Amino acid sequence: MEYVEPVLGISNCLGTPACKYLQYHRKLNDYVRNFKRMRDELNCKMEDIQLQLKAELLRPLGKIPKKGVENWLKAVKEMIREAQVVENKVSNGRYLCRACNGKLVDEKTREMKEFLDNAPNASEGLAMDGPSAGLPLPTSELVGEEAVRNEIWACLMQEEVSKIGVWGIGGVGKTTIVKHIHNDLLKQQRFERVIWVTISKEFNVMKVQDNITSALESKEYLDKEEDKLRRAAILSEMLKNAGKHVLILDDVWDKVSLEEVGIPEPSGSSGCKLVLTARSEHVCKYMGCKVIKVKPLSEEEALILFLNKVGPNIVQSPTIMPTLKLVVKECAGLPLTIVVVAGTMKGEDNPRIWKNTLGELKERIGKVEAEVIERLKFSFDHLKDEKVKYCFLHCALYPEDFGIEKDELIECWIEEGFIDYMGTRQEMKDKGHVILKKLEDNCLLENDTSQFGLHVIKMHDAVRDMALSITRMNPRYMIQAGLLLEEFPEKEQWSPDIEKVSLMYNSISEISIDVLPTKCQQLTTLLLQHNPIKKISISFFTNMPCLSVLNLSFTMIKSLPNSIYELKNLTTLLLHGCYGLRDLPCLSMLQELKKLDLSETGIEEVLKGWIC
In the chain, what are the domain boundaries? 4-129, 146-293, 299-381, 386-458, 476-597
CA 410 to chain centre: 15
End-to-end Cα, the chain, rounded Å: 14
Q: How buried is 293 (Cβ within 10 angstroms: 0-12 exposed, 13-18 middle, 19+ buried)? A: middle
Look at 274 and 89; give whichever has higher pLDDT.
274
- Fold observed for domain 299-381: Helicase, Ruva Protein; domain 3 (1.10.8)
Round the CA-based radius of gyration of the chain to a whole number and report it.
28
Backbone angles phi, psi at 533, to 5 degrees: -70, 125
Specify the pLDDT at position 17: 62
Task: Tell me the range of 83-92, 125-134, 146-155 where mean pLDDT is highest.
Answer: 146-155
Nearest of 407, 390, 385 to residue 457 by alpha carbon:
407
Specify the pLDDT at position 518: 66
Specify the pLDDT at position 606: 53
- Model confidence pLDDT, tens digit, residues 267-278: 877 789 999 999
Look at 100 and 479; give whichever has higher pLDDT.
479
Q: What is the mean pLDDT of residues 318-322?
A: 87
Pick the CATH number of 386-458 from 1.10.3470, 1.10.10, 2.40.10, 3.30.70: 1.10.10
Instruction: Report how far residue 340's alpha carbon sits from residue 346's, in angstroms, rounded to the nearest whole number.
Output: 10
Task: Look over the chain and give the mean of its residue pLDDT values, rounded to a whole number.
Answer: 83
Evaluate if residue 418 carries a pLDDT over 90.
yes
Evaluate if residue 404 carries a pLDDT over 80.
yes
Specify the pLDDT at position 133: 56
Instruction: Report how far residue 553's alpha carbon sits from residue 550's, in angstroms, rounded to the nearest whole number.
Output: 9
Cβ 449 vs Cβ 455: under 8 Å:
yes
- Model confidence pLDDT, tens digit, residues 62-71: 566 777 888 8
Specify the pLDDT at position 396: 95
- Model confidence pLDDT, tens digit, residues 476-513: 999 999 888 888 988 888 888 899 999 999 999 998 86
Pick the range with the lowest mean pLDDT from 113-117, 198-202, 221-225: 221-225
Nearest of 76, 96, 99, 125 to residue 25 by alpha carbon:
99
Cβ 598 vs Cβ 574: under 8 Å:
no
- Model confidence pLDDT, tens digit, residues 571-580: 999 999 998 8
Query: 476-597 belongs to which homologous superfamily?
Result: Ribonuclease Inhibitor (3.80.10.10)
Q: What is the mean pLDDT of residues 395-414?
A: 93
Pick the CATH number of 146-293 from 3.30.1280.10, 3.40.50.620, 3.40.50.10800, 3.40.50.300: 3.40.50.300
Q: What is the mean pLDDT of residues 599-603?
A: 84
Look at 74 and 433; give whichever has higher pLDDT.
433
Predicted confidence band of residue 453 (pLDDT cuts 50, 70, 90) = low
Query: 3-state DSSP: the chain helix, strand, coil percent, rounded to 5?
Result: 50, 10, 40
pTM of the model: 0.62
Predicted confidence band of residue 471 (pLDDT cuts 50, 70, 90) = very high
Q: What is the mean pLDDT of residues 189-204?
A: 84
Long-range residue pairs from 345-349, CB within 8 A, at least 24 positions apart, any chain = 345/310, 345/314, 346/309, 346/310, 346/311, 346/314, 346/441, 347/311, 347/313, 347/314, 348/314, 349/313, 349/314, 349/317, 349/320
Evaluate if residue 316 carries a pLDDT over 80.
no
Q: Which residues pair with 278 in a beta bridge?
A: 167, 252
Evaluate if residue 131 carries a pLDDT over 70.
no
Pick the range with the lowest mean pLDDT from 210-219, 260-269, 468-477: 210-219
CA 301 to chain centre: 35
Instruction: Report how far residue 456's alpha carbon sits from residue 585's, in angstroms, rounded to the nearest whole number.
Output: 36
Cβ 454 vs Cβ 408: under 8 Å:
no
Helix (H, G, I), strand (E, B) or coil at 236: helix
Q: What is the mean pLDDT of residues 96-121?
A: 84
- Model confidence pLDDT, tens digit, residues 39-80: 899 889 888 888 777 776 655 455 667 778 888 888 888 888
Cβ 392 vs Cβ 439: under 8 Å:
yes
Say what percent of the chain tops pLDDT 70.
88
Backbone angles phi, psi at 372, to 5 degrees: -60, -50
- Model confidence pLDDT, tens digit, residues 581-591: 887 877 778 88
Instruction: Report how far residue 136's alpha carbon sits from residue 186's, in angstroms, rounded to the nearest whole number.
Output: 7
Evaluate if residue 557 carries a pLDDT over 90.
yes
Cβ 245 vs Cβ 268: under 8 Å:
no
Cβ 573 vs Cβ 544: under 8 Å:
no
